[in-house]
Amino acid sequence: FERQDGRSQKQRLLVVANRLPVSAVRKGDDSWALDVSVGGLVSALLGVNEFEANWIGWAGVNVTDEIGQRSLTEALAEKRCIPVFLDQEIVHQYYNGYCNNILWPLFHYLPLPQEDRLATTRSFQSQFAAYKEANQLFADVVNEHYQEGDVVWCHDYHLMFLPKCLKDYNSKMKVGWFLHTPFPSSEIHRTLPSRSELLRAVLAADLVGFHTYDYARHFVSACTRILGLEGTPEGVEDQGKLTRVAAFPIGIDSDRFIRALELPPVKCRIKELQDRFAGRKVMLGVDRLDMIKGIPQKILAFEKFLEENPDWHDKVVLLQIAVPTRTDVPEYQKLTCQVHEIVGRINGRFGTLTAVPIHHLDRSLDFYALCALYAVTDVALVTSLRDGMNLVSYEFVACQASKKGVLILSEFAGAAQSLGAGAILVNPWNITELASSISYALTMSAHEREKRHHHNFLHVTTHTSQEWAETFVSELNDTIVEAQLRTRQ
Ligand code: ADQ
């Protein structure tokens, strides 16, 4: 992009996601403490130098007064963040309701229990209305800050209505939408009362992206079967307008993890962990405490492994780090109790006065602690029942250059398609198979571990988050150019 004075100028990227990468806590009438959270998406875009990224999203706080809104907007501007203000009722209906109670479970093939489903159906209309209203509020803010030539990149299931709202404002806006969860089989999607409206809203985008080819295929099938549109190798066509649909598998900023292992505080933690678990193999699970992550299945398989292999009782430990999420939702509270109960039972059965087989932590770890844990692990367990990609499996591989540990990976995680040749793939619903995989992983020869690790390490260090973001945005730019050429022909 050339400016009039001849100097090159970076293309502006408006990244629109439900949550900003910053959490805000109010300290006074007009003062705010901002805490930057580096999640997958933030680190993906941190390393991208080709664009000037600006964020638009909800700051996670309810601010109703004008002074507060103005001062928060100013504070966030320093971090290139623009807030969308949502009131409590909208958040309740849109975020807790439609996003987390309906779309999240459905996209992961998890039906809600029947009694909840009935209650949900009654409030479905109002939640969907709030969803559309919230998406419109996001669109208003995007429209206010949009400049000609910007690329608008919408993220995730929270904002499926956004592409339509944006195109209604300005049909020339370059709009891409990317889904971080799986897109389910069209047979699942068709159970959603608002199925057609949502598909049509997404199709307003110029480019629609998914982690895997399968999810993209499910989306195209849903459009052909539910809307009766034509699916082509490029995407979905409606009355001459093509929406490009493709797979863009996300990666991580692998260098950030590899560099961290050389830092003194991380080395120090690695040494502490090695001393603490000397003489025992370390198995690791790192998940948000969510139904989709298959945490009970993982722990039950570990119990079965201990039952069948008494020789291993004091020679292996499972460290399960589970960050609580959506703690106000009853389903998540039930899951926490269930996990605690199983862990307690197993530690009671197989623990001794000096050691327990499972260390379960209900919290998040800081980046250095996480890197150290990944580095000392012999076997990582990712047992998601469904998962868009799963970045934990990538992070583990990036930190294993010296140890060359084994990754046990659910075949239902998107990552199975990229790390499948190096990992041991499992069906997490089959506890017996999972228990034998643990046994196999713990006794695998050094040669086989090395071969498997090499395959995965190569993938993780070459398919990075930066590459993912750059590919998506350049594909979006190309899509627009091609569409312009087509209309001129
Ligand atoms: P998530 O469901 O959050 O992401 P995942 O891809 O594994 O799942 O990313 C989780 C991130 O949180 C990782 O970076 C991990 O390090 C961190 N994390 C998890 N537990 C932690 C803990 N206890 N302490 C500290 N950090 C922890 C969604 C989709 C995924 C998809 C990503 C990105 O559900 O399928 O891979 O978005 O698209």
Q: What is the pLDDT of residue 40?
A: 66
Q: Return d(Cα 305, Cα 308) in angstroms, integer.
A: 5
Rounded CA-CA distance 267/282 in Å is 17
Lowest mean pLDDT among 59-68, 309-318, 434-443: 59-68
111 pLDDT tier (thresholds 50, 70, 90): confident
pLDDT of residue 296: 97
> CA separation (Å) from 20 to 14, 42, 77?
12, 9, 12
Angle (CA) 286-289-293 rounded to 5° is 70
Residue given tokens 């998940």 in the structure block? 287
User: In which band, very low, low, confident or very high, does the pLDDT at 301 lie, cut at 50, 70 and 90?
Assistant: very high
| C-alpha of residue 39 to centroid of ligand 1, in Å | 7
Average confidence (pLDDT) over 268-293: 96
As a residue count, the chain comes to 489
Instruction: Determine which of 120-134, 209-223, 275-289 has the lowest per-residue pLDDT on average.
Output: 120-134
Q: What is the pLDDT of residues 454-477, one digit of tens each?
A: 999 999 999 999 999 999 999 999
Which has the closest alpha carbon to 16: 117, 125, 120, 166?
166
Residue 231 Cα to ligand 1 middle (Å): 32
Confidence of residue 446 (pLDDT cuts 50, 70, 90): very high
Distance from the alpha carbon of residue 148 to the mean position of ligand 1, in angstroms: 34
Site of tokens 């941190």: 46
pTM, 2 dp: 0.95
Residue to substitute in 99, 100, 286, 394 for testing ligand 1 pocket (most ligand atoms within 8 angstroms of CB): 286
pLDDT of residue 436: 98
On the CB side of 54, CA atoms within 13 Å amount to: 20
What is the pLDDT, as a whole number, of residue 116? 63
Please report the DSSP string for 105-169 in residue order: HHHTT-PPPHHHHHHHHHHHHHHHHHHHHHHHHHHHHHHHH--TT-EEEEESGGGSSHHHHHHHH
Give Cα 107 to chain centroid, integer Å.
Answer: 13
pLDDT for the residue 117: 61
pLDDT of 215 > 80? The answer is yes
Residues with CB under 6 A from ligand 1: 40, 180-181, 250, 286-288, 321, 323, 364-365, 370, 387-392, 395
Q: Is the pLDDT of residue 307 over 80?
A: yes
Name every residue whose Cβ is closer than 8 Å to that of residue 457 and which is 6 or more positions away in sequence: 397, 398, 400, 401
- Measured CA to CA, the distance from residue 169 to residue 165 in angstroms comes to 7
- Output the six-digit token pair for 426: 């499992």
